[in-house]
Amino acid sequence: MSSVYKKYLYWIHATLLVMFPVCMHAQDFTYVTSLGESLMVVTITLVPILLGLALVVFVWGLVVFIAKADNEQERDAGKQKMVWGIIGLFVLVSIWGIILLLQNIVGVEGTPNGLGPPGVPFS
């Protein structure tokens, strides 16, 4: 057997060994549910903190840009902070928007325990 064939055979066997019990409903996946709920709580707590941090970075860059208008290097540093703050805000808000879009497409309302981004109906 060639080494490429052995590698593909290994991955096919590994996938089958993992997926077969799932297909046969032979495994208990309650740990997946509790892990998902734990990750959701962490995410729900972390996203507003990251949004606030991105906003602080933007405002800090704006203050540096205005306060150090006479110094070219400091003004460029302020611009960089503002750009990174805007990028952070854009990424986080875009992720929330994508999640809301997927919730609407799938037909899921809200999140467990009524937690989630603003504008999401509580369940």
pLDDT in tens, 25-58: 555 555 556 666 666 777 777 888 888 999 999 9
Into how many domains does the chain fold? Answer: 1
- Do the domain assignments include residue 95? yes
- Do the domain assignments include residue 31? yes
What pTM does this model have? Answer: 0.57
Please give the pLDDT value at position 80: 94
Question: Percent of the chain beyond pLDDT 70?
Answer: 63
Whole-angstrom distance, CA of residue 54 vs CA of residue 90: 9
- Do the domain assignments include residue 75? yes
- What pLDDT band is residue 63 in, cutting at 50, 70 and 90? very high
Task: Pick the more confident residue, 72 or 44.
Answer: 72
Please give the pLDDT value at position 17: 66
| Confidence check: pLDDT of 96 > 90 | no
Q: At what angle do helices 30-67 and 72-106 cross, to 10 degrees?
A: 150
- Do the domain assignments include residue 122? no
- Do the domain assignments include residue 109? yes
- Do the domain assignments include residue 105? yes
SS3 40: helix
- Do the domain assignments include residue 121? no
The domain containing residue 100 runs over which residues? 3-114
- Do the domain assignments include residue 53? yes
